[in-house]
Chain A
Amino acid sequence: MREFNVALAAPEWILSATILVVLFQDARTRWDNKGGLGRTTWLGLLLATGCAMLQGWFVDTPATAFLGHYGVDGFSIVCKAIFGATALFVMAMADTWLKRVDRGHGEFRLLALMATLGMFFVCSVRDFAGLFVSLELITVSFYCLTAFKRNDERAIEAGIKYVVLGALATAFLLLGIAFIYGATESLWFHKIALTEASDGVGGNAALLEFGLLLTVLGLCFKIAAVPFQVWTPDVYEGAASPVTAFLSMGSKAAGFVLLLKVVRACLGPDGDAGIILATGAWAGLFALIAAATMLYGNLGALWQGNMKRLLGYSSIGHAGYVLMGVLAFNEAGFAAVVYYLMAYLFTVLGVFAVVIIVNGALRSHAITDYAGLGRKSPFLALVLTCGLLSLAGVPPMAGFFGKFLVFQAVVQLGTPVAYTVAFVGAAGVVVSMYYYLCVVKQLYMVEAPEGDTRLDGLVVAKPLKAVLWVCLIGIFVLGFLVQPFVAMAQDAAEALMAAR
């Protein structure tokens, strides 16, 4: 238990080495010869992701390293696979997108790699010190990535908004951790449950509850949930499209992984609701956040004419659905969250891949400009349609089963609060159907204006085409062949519940 055992962190070592190699390679190559950086990045990401997945077979889980501060279990392996796939997809999008940008290739790849490193650490941290630094590693990388197009006013505005709100959320998170440290006298996640058990009333419990409240609010910034959701549409619109894609999947999933770990730490050692979470107030608080997030996201999306702003609001709405899985406070709910994230990965990255291709031709994100895409480029329109229907939760798609599991977990609780939040969620799904279908209508039912040839003859680069196919297949596989993936999510949730 108390050993350094550094070899266990092999995926992170590979990523760290890749970062250093790219750093020196960038310094040693001329500006017009940056292709090698891309190859190094791809190799590093593939090796790290492969290594993380192989640990599922070759490591006797759960295992710990760094005196127990770093852990590998079924949950962390599944999450690392999700983050690795996200980074690979985003890198494929960035390869295409960077061709339109004549500077900063090395910096882009470095920052993306460092954000990925943070996401890998997020899966394995077992204490609040690790939680904080790995989360900040992701956030700081994204501050810079958001402002990447620094000649673009909207990108700068997005960057500043993200930094200011991010700093506020970090302050909440830090103060929360300080209170938890004061109550438990340690930074370990698992000490929370022990403190709850030792003095359930008064004294430290009050400090612990206040600290947890602040920590959860701080994490709400990462997952784009109320009350820290306001940055989302502006940042999504201002940032470059691959960055937005990375934000909407990687950054959000990292927030949820940590939220799951913190909530798990509050449950008792046997997975029963801990003394603090057993009080109705906490279920009520999570329900309130989830309901407000779903309403804000889905109602806000109704009036959007810009594709990326629409996806920003829709991403807020999805944070609300995933929160429903968290607030179940049990294994079924956590499994639903993991499955939802897997489905969301293929869905949202497929949509963003199309957005990047279309934007390359249009130089615009207006939804009205998507008119006629169905006739001019049927494959792109098909991927976009399937992605949007999956986001909406239409049955044969991956998104439907994500939503199904989440709603099932909540309804099974059987409390009035759970029914209310499920009802709000169902209403949100209905509303979201409208604005997703409006985009689909634009693709197929509306003709492009006469003489507008911008969408004619779209050429899709090979890596991006691969992303499109993988996402399309993923959307249907996770919709039809549900069982193995649900089993995987359940194993991950089980490992999370068994974590000490």
Chain B
Amino acid sequence: MIGIFFWLFAALLTVSGLLAITRRNAVSAALWAAVSFIAIAGIFVLLQAYFLAVVEVLVYAGAIMVLFLFVIMLLNLREEDLQVLEGPRLHILGVLLAAGFLGGLVWTCRRAGLYDAKNGAIKMTAESVGETKSLAAPLFMEYVLPFEIASFLLLAAIVGAVLITKKRLT
């Protein structure tokens, strides 16, 4: 049963991801990206990571997507303003690189035996893996240092945003 849902979400994720990067219209590209976020949330649910699934929908499919659409609306790009990256050579190079990357990924998974059902099963270390506690405890104990560095990362982003966008810096 879970297997069926996994393939469903995986297919949805792949298709919507491909559509997101191939649509010319920025709004439809952003909406397909939102669909892919929801598919990821579905896979998180199947992995019993319920909190991550909720956050994925709230933050990515919700807040960040609204921000994207807002910026796209503000820019108000028309179809004829959009330049296409010219040259089939670039396209061929891009496809070749992507194919090589995919090949490496598939080859690695095959070598690691991930297609084998008994190896592929994900080990659940604790019953409460999907709860906020299992996320919060490492965040504030084990990984408190990266957490604090991340706060400076956000400060850098804020200062940088002010620097680049503020009309008059005095």
Residues of chain A whose beta carbon lies under 8 Å from any beta carbon of chain B:
16, 19, 23, 30-31, 66-67, 69-70, 103-104, 107-108, 110-111, 114-115, 117-118, 121, 125, 127, 129-130, 132-134, 136-137, 140-141, 143-144, 147-148, 150, 159, 179, 202-204, 206-207, 209-210, 213
Contacts and interface: CB of A to CB of B under 8 A. Distances in A.
A23 B155 CA distance: 10
Interface string B154-170: 01110111111000111
Contacts of A202: 111-113
Interface residues on B, range: 20 to 34
25 contacts: A23-B155, A31-B170, A66-B144, A103-B170, A107-B160, A108-B163, A111-B160, A114-B155, A114-B156, A114-B159, A118-B149, A125-B145, A130-B145, A130-B149, A136-B153, A137-B152, A144-B159, A144-B160, A144-B163, A202-B111, A202-B112, A202-B113, A203-B112, A206-B111, A210-B104
A69 B153 CA distance: 18
Given A107-B169, A150-B164, A133 B113 contact: no
B144 to A, nearest CB: 6
A129 B142 CA distance: 11
B124 to A, nearest CB: 12
A140 B145 CA distance: 18
A121 B105 contact: no
B95 interface: no
A207 B155 contact: no
B108 interface: yes
Contacts of B149: 118, 121, 130, 133-134, 137
Contacts of A19: 152, 155
A136 B108 CA distance: 27
Given A202-B112, A206-B111, A207-B108, A103 B146 contact: no
Contacts of B75: none
B141 A67 contact: yes
A32 to B, nearest CB: 9
Contacts of A30: 170
A117 B152 contact: yes
Q: Dominant SS at the B interface?
A: helix
A137 B156 contact: yes
A104 B163 contact: yes
A188 to B, nearest CB: 11
Contact of A140 (B108, B144, B153): B153
B137 interface: no
Contacts of B108: 179, 206-207, 209-210
Interface of B: 104-105, 108, 111-113, 119, 141-146, 149-150, 152-153, 155-157, 159-164, 168-170
A467 B101 CA distance: 46
A202 B153 CA distance: 38
B116 to A, nearest CB: 10
A144 B160 CA distance: 5
B165 to A, nearest CB: 9
Nearest to B104: A210
Given A107-B159, A210-B104, A144 B164 contact: yes
Given A144-B160, A147-B164, 5 more contacts: A107-B163, A121-B149, A137-B149, A140-B153, A150-B164
Contacts of B112: 202-204, 206-207
B158 to A, nearest CB: 10
A129 B164 contact: no
A133 B105 CA distance: 25
Contacts of A31: 169-170
A187 to B, nearest CB: 8
A30 B159 CA distance: 18
A117 B162 CA distance: 20
Nearest to A129: B146
A213 B107 CA distance: 14
A179 B169 CA distance: 44
Contact of B160 (A125, A143, A179, A209): A143
B143 A129 contact: yes
Nearest to A68: B142
Given A140-B160, A147-B164, A210-B105, A16 B152 contact: yes
B156 A132 contact: no
A69 B156 contact: no
Contacts of A203: 112-113, 119
Contacts of B162: 107
Contacts of A147: 164
Contacts of B119: 203
Q: Which 6 residue pairs spanning A and B have beta carbons closest together? A: A144-B160, A206-B111, A31-B170, A103-B169, A210-B108, A206-B112
Given A16-B152, A206-B111, A133 B146 contact: yes
A74 B118 CA distance: 45
A207 B114 CA distance: 10
A463 B152 CA distance: 29
B151 to A, nearest CB: 10
Contacts of B155: 19, 23, 114
A140 B150 contact: no
A16 B112 CA distance: 43
B113 A69 contact: no
A69 B143 contact: yes
A133 to B, nearest CB: 4
